[in-house]
Structure 1
Amino acid sequence: MKKNILWLLFILLPLFLGGCNNDEEIVFDHERPQFELREGQILLEVIMPQSTAADDEIFISGDFNGGDSLAMLNSKWQLIKAENSDIKWAIYINPSDLNGYNLADGYHFVSKAEGTERTVFNEEAVHTENPGVNARVNVWVNRWASYFEVDEEPEEPVHDGYAVYVEDNTGWDVTTIYVWGDAEIFGGWPGAQPTGTQLINGITYKYYDFGEANTGKSANLIFNNNGGGNQFDGVQGFIVNRDLYLRITSSGYEEIVVEPEITHDGYAIFIEDNTGWDAITMYAWNGDGLPELFGGWPGILPTGEATINGVKYKYFDTGKVNEGTVYNLILNNNNGGNQFDLANVTLNRDYYFTCSSSGGTEISLSTNK
């Protein structure tokens, strides 16, 4: 009886082990075949970026067809979109059309709407996948050139001499400034309306240009609602030899200090540092195989410091080339034994955190206004 039981276990053991195999590959829906094979042809099934429009025109390009310009003139090299997938496209290639080349010599894709294909690091993309005749392979397009195009920054206004910059919280329909002293710099009562507006460190200021000819003059400011009956005295005895920044309400003003505007490399992580640590460093890792954002542990010290809405932040620039990627942030005291998980972030905007030695909380700029 014992021999029979042992023999039965011996037979069932391989079946049990086979059923517990954890090495089976997970296949996502977008990786599953969407197109039928065709006799004598090579099938490339191409997984596109989410930004790719369904009505875009996409072509394969390589030495075998003369490159982007010529490829886009010939419908033979145009991809077709899958009926049941928004990101899966394909092209059937007859090997005889490759003019003595093969796909292993290199190729890429080009979109009529979004430009040529690029890597996640904005480098030239080259594929060498070559499944052979009567076979298919999945090919991934990570980015289009349009992803890395930088929107044109609005032009900085050209000022006439120094200016009064006003963060206007009066609630008035129109805010005018009258100036008396060495001259009525903004003309007779009720004075001048704003010369324009300017965005500085995330705040929109109204500005009033003094005029180059008034540099060095003494000025007494009166704010009013365009002669509508509300007014208050602003700065008195001001010498026009610098820009003046004011925050005003309907009843008064305060002079404020505005830090020079900083040009960041990509988006930034801003930390209001209440940790009490001698130094803070940021480490960032990605679970999808991308490099560590700030290098190996413990990461990097802050890129710099900035004061925004009266709050001092230490910031870490994340790099323009990394926009759109996802990272997990760990704040630590420069490998001194203290650390905590800060957040999982997608680098498609700036982030602001207030941090103690035990953790961090994301905040909005309005929280600290």
Structure 2
Amino acid sequence: MTGALTDIRVIEMGTLLAGPFCGQQLADHGAEVIKIEPPVTGDPMRAWGQEKSDGKSLWWPVVGRGKKSVTINLREPAGQDLVRRLVAGADVLLENFRPGTLEKWGLAPEELRALNPRLIVTRVSGYGQTGPYAAQPGFGAIGEALGGIRYTTGDPGSLPSRTGISIGDTLTAMFATIGTLGAIHARQRTGQGQVVDAALYESVLAVMESLLTEYHVAGFIRERTGSIIPNIAPANAYPTRDGNLHLISGNQDTVWRRLAEAMGRPELGTDPRYATHHARGDNQLELDELIAQWTATLDTAELHRLLNEHSVPNGQMYRAPEMLLDDHFAAREAIAWVDSPDFGAIPMQNVVPKLSGTPGSINWSGPMLGEHNDEVLGGILGLDTDSLEQLRSRGIIG
């Protein structure tokens, strides 16, 4: 195990994506993440996403990577007691159940912190732990709707679109990770743990830039704008001769002049219609058409080379095939190849960000259900073989 968090033990409870993606990030940076799953079924992520013909999920190896799987029936008092014993020696308890669930099971944060005052309880939910909506069910899509990103995503002539990934869940997981790390740092000063309350809708709201201020001060409501940012030009995807789309971002005055040089039309750089930020915004559609006519005469590789020579930010819109073939991805080790018991060596995104002194690592892909029962319950809690067999026979640990 390598990384900045190798001295941190996390008990991950919860399913699907928002909580588990937070656990994935902590595991990537070295934390010992013990994932508690329901016996028999496990986390639904084991079956979600694109599947092979045998029904095994291709999502689980990523979101479950680096974790230790332990099966415990949390609805049974004996299972709840196992959690208390694990929490007594843990740094973090991570959960994303509906608010009130831990309390119903006798695992309220104040009760757990009475056992372990240094414990940090990271709670992920749709609407947060307080407020009139707290008890309502809230998945990532609902958080995206309330937080504002759904309304502003897509083409203005169509219904609001999703981003193509579960952005509400992953944003919340990232903020939960930030909060957890902040609480770990604060504990160094105070010796005390605390509760980290990460809500889906608030995490989306947090990245909505000046949306609220624009409305309050100027009465402006952001609408869907498709592939452009209104009045920021040029910054769009443009067609190439070989059938690709290429992103060009030349919306700074000096960059625009370099783009005009690359186009072989340096006079456009000082043309009053395009010379300034506001002028380009006023003539955005006309400017996009002009650039598209030029890019359509060039193959992608030629366009990329020419724009780089003139220091104009640009890039092809990659899919997985392009990522796997890219020299820069390879040089940076942005993609890791990890052994999977189900699929052999498989590619997945590597640990982010890169730390020079304590780099993280992917130690294994998503584990088999209950793979670490004996290691954790026997090794950490000290349960002997007979005790484990009794728990299995009663359905407590599967």
TM over 0.5: same fold? no
Larger radius of gyration: 1
Q: Hey, which of these two has a bigger chunk of strand by percent?
A: 1
- TM score, norm. by length of structure 1: 0.21
Q: Which of structures 1 and 2 has the larger relative contact order (alpha carbons within 8 angstroms, sep 6+)?
A: 2
Q: Hey, which of these two has a bigger chunk of helix by percent?
A: 2
